[in-house]
Amino acid sequence: MKREIWKGSEAIAEAAIRAGCRCFFGYPITPQNEIPEYMSLHMPQRGGVFVQAESEVAAVNMVYGAAASGVRAMTSSSSPGVSLKQEGISYMAACQLPAVVVNVMRGGPGLGSIQPAQGDYFQATRGGGNGDYRTVTLAPANIQEAVDLTQEAFDIADQYRNPVVLLADGLIGQMMEPIVWKERTPRPLPEKTWAACGRGSRDHNNFITSLLIDAPACEAHNLDLAKKTAEMEKNECRWEEILLDDAEVVLVAYGTPSRVAQTAAENLRKQGIKAGVFRPITVWPYPYARLREIAARESVKVFLDVEMSLGQMLDDVHLAVAERKPVRFYGRCGGAIPHVSEVEGAALEAWKEVK
């Protein structure tokens, strides 16, 4: 297959179109403007709709409307913009509407900076909006994976009738790498019999709402959603293990920091220290079970969690490791990207503590 060079944001946009996304609604924000830019040109040419909305809130509610009618719909933004979309994401989760939300994260909190960061981890992995719900959250570490996960995100959304978040950091959005457009086999998916797309020959109207004003009905609905949450947890967890089989120092990182951690681990091995990387690809559901198994290995001495935030995924690493081994942390934030030497130094320090 021919390798082509793509910029992350543009690759995500093209991947969405190839996955059958036909409605894109967005509002500009750096560092993801190439997504709406690409969509504005290509969506109309490919039989789709592009709307630059008046705000992020409007854009996510347009996605809500489009998804309710049964079409594949997407919005994208960056951190402060994604915060604004949380209401819509919660409503879509409540209404069981499939949609894809891309967050190309930048420095926060507030307006923050326009450089890469990962400070939206809690928001993305804990639901983000109000109420009891979760979204499958996919975190690519290279452009090929950004493409593959974007396409799969639409299948996952349709399968569970739930919003899916693609959680990329600004570097993944901006960098270029070679990719191949693979032949995809889409998942077998249920028909969208629930879609509010005109009554047609149906004997009833499909009615989509998140308002369940009686508590017992609302609780029953929540429990139904919880069953789906459990299914997603069971089926959608994924991760990658790099140099991990004999590792004594385990670096845990996702997205760009996982690549920095990989280079750091390779360097440490040249110095005779057995380092490896555990890379969650889904940050929700989090690969707790596998990380727990690794923590139980006799060979594993210490964990180092590396983030472009100040200890958010760290909570999940602690939940998985559960005091079996020490867990250390190294993070940069606000748009700063950790250097290999810094991560290497932090890992070395952690290793010295336990050897």
Among 58, 114, 322, 336, binds other proteins (CB under 8 A): 114
Q: How far is CA 174 from CA 30, 177, 245, in A?
A: 10, 10, 32
Among 87, 132, 233, 266, binds other proteins (CB under 8 A): 266
CA distance 304 to 339: 15
Cα 87 → chain centroid? 18
Count of residues touching other proteins (by CB under 8 A) = 23
Residue 282 in contact with other proteins, rule: CB under 8 A: no
Please report which helix (H) or strand (E) contains residue 293, including its range. helix 288-296
Interface characters, 57-96, with other proteins (x: CB under 8 A) = ----------------------------------------
Question: Toward other proteins, which CB reaches closer, 65 or 334?
Answer: 334
Cα 151 → chain centroid? 13
Side-chain-side CA neighbours of residue 33 (13 Å): 5
| Partners of residue 252 on adjacent β-strands | 278, 305
Do residues 24 and 109 touch, judged by C-beta distance below 8 A? no
Residue 32 in contact with other proteins, rule: CB under 8 A: no
Between strands 275-280 and 239-242, the pairing is antiparallel
Question: Toward other proteins, which CB reaches closer, 3 or 184?
Answer: 3
Among 182, 187, 339, 355, binds other proteins (CB under 8 A): 339
Between strands 327-331 and 99-105, the pairing is unpaired
Helix (H, G, I), strand (E, B) or coil at 5: strand
Among 41, 111, 176, 223, binds other proteins (CB under 8 A): 176
Residue 243 in contact with other proteins, rule: CB under 8 A: no
Report, in Å, the least distance between residue 106 CB and other proteins: 11
Residue 355 in contact with other proteins, rule: CB under 8 A: no
Per the omega criterion (within 30 degrees of 0), is the bond before 326 cis?
no
Question: Toward other proteins, which CB reaches closer, 40 or 263?
Answer: 263
Residue 241 structure tokens: 């293990």
CA distance 309 to 175: 20
Question: Toward other proteins, which CB reaches closer, 30 or 222?
Answer: 30
Residue 178 in contact with other proteins, rule: CB under 8 A: yes
Report, in Å, the least distance between residue 10 CB and other proteins: 13
Question: Toward other proteins, which CB reaches closer, 58 or 340?
Answer: 340
Residue 171 in contact with other proteins, rule: CB under 8 A: yes
Do residues 177 and 144 touch, judged by C-beta distance below 8 A? yes
Q: Which of 330, 325, 326 is nearest to 344 (CA)?
A: 330
Residue 271 in contact with other proteins, rule: CB under 8 A: no
Residue 177 in contact with other proteins, rule: CB under 8 A: yes
Residue 147 structure tokens: 């493409």
From the list 68-76, 89-97, 188-196, 332-340, the region that binds other proteins by CB under 8 A is 332-340
Report, in Å, the least distance between residue 263 CB and other proteins: 3
Q: Which residues bind other proteins (CB under 8 A)?
A: 3, 5, 31, 114-115, 171, 174-178, 256, 259-264, 266, 337, 339-341
